[in-house]
């Protein structure tokens, strides 16, 4: 079955960087884009951006421009999201998700297992 | 940015009852590009509906979506015990993609 399995929880200090991985299985990895969404404790989801796995094109939400980088390793069917200059309000569960619809205007039909990132001094 | 307002914040119902959840957009959602997700504690969101009314694969037909423009509704015809969860709407008709704040459906 289609699965997205993410890396484990992280605890970081303010100013540090975090990298989250997302390993896909059960479908042709290069046929779908991957988006990243985060959810702060008790809040609704917040969209961060997406990556076209086939050509590595990325599109980041303005709020995260300059701090987020999305990459992929097609040889291992894994997507990565790095967030730098971490602040306490970056504490959240980070999800990768498979994109459906067209690339710019899409919804997500399969979600990853989630990675909890805690930013604390 | 399109702001999605979900109401009510919490819906207290009994198993077997009908649930009606609302999602109102601050601007027209293009092409009815609206999705609904279900989320249970400690789990990732699960896609229920896309295109305002199309059920995702494997979603029971007690879930239905409707609406157009700025007003959208998710209905659950007869609540099963596994339906008690938080529900989010998401618009994907314009950038940035945005989510609502959620409606919690709890057991009365």
Q: How far apart are CA B97 and CA A106, in angstroms?
A: 8
Q: Please tell me whether residue A97 adopts helix, strand or coil conformation.
A: strand
Across the interface, do A105 and B30 touch by the CB < 8 Å criterion? yes
A60-91 pLDDT, tens digit per residue, is 999 999 999 999 999 999 999 999 999 999 99
Q: How far is A121 from chain B (nearest CA, A)?
A: 25
Residue with tokens 């040889």: A75
Residues in A whose CB is inside 8 Å of some CB of B read 43-47, 61-62, 95, 97, 100-101, 104-114
- With 90 as the cut, is the pLDDT of residue A24 above it? yes
- Residues sharing a CB contact under 8 Å with residue B59, sequence separation 6 or more, in sequence order: B47, B48, B49
> Residue A65: how many CB atoms within 10 A of its CB?
9
- Each residue's pLDDT tens digit in chain B (108 positions)? 999 999 999 999 999 999 999 999 999 998 889 999 999 999 999 999 999 999 999 999 999 999 999 999 999 999 999 999 999 999 999 999 999 999 999 999
* DSSP characters over A52-81: -TTT--EEE-GGGTTTEEEEEETTTTEEEE
B66-76 exposure pattern, b = at least 16 Cβ within 10 A, e = fewer: ebeebebbbeb
- With 80 as the cut, is the pLDDT of residue A103 above it? no
B97 touching A, CB under 8 A?
Answer: yes
Q: What is the pLDDT of residue A81?
A: 98
């Amino acid at each position: 079955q289609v699965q997205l399995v993410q890396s484990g929880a992280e605890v970081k200090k303010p100013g540090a960087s975090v990298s989250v991985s997302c390993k896909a299985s059960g479908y042709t990895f290069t046929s779908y884009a991957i988006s990243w969404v985060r959810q702060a404790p008790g809040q609704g989801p917040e969209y961060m951006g997406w990556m076209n796995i086939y050509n590595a094109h990325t599109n980041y939400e303005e709020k995260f421009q300059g701090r987020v980088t999305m990459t992929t390793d097609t040889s291992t069917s894994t997507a990565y999201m790095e967030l730098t200059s971490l602040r306490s309000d970056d504490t959240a569960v980070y999800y990768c998700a498979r994109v459906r619809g067209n690339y710019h205007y899409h919804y997500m039909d399969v979600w990853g297992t989630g990675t909890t990132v805690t930013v604390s001094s | 940015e399109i702001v999605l307002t979900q109401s009510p914040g919490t819906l207290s119902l009994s198993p077997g009852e009908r649930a009606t959840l609302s999602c109102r957009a601050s601007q027209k959602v293009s092409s009815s590009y609206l999705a609904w997700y279900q989320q249970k504690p400690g789990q990732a969101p699960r896609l229920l509906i896309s295109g305002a009314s199309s059920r995702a694969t494997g979603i029971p037909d007690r879930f239905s979506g409707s609406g157009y423009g700025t007003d959208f509704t998710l209905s659950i015809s007869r609540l099963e015990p596994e339906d008690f969860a938080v529900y989010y709407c998401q618009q994907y008709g314009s950038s940035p993609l945005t989510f609502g704040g959620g409606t919690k459906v709890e057991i009365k």
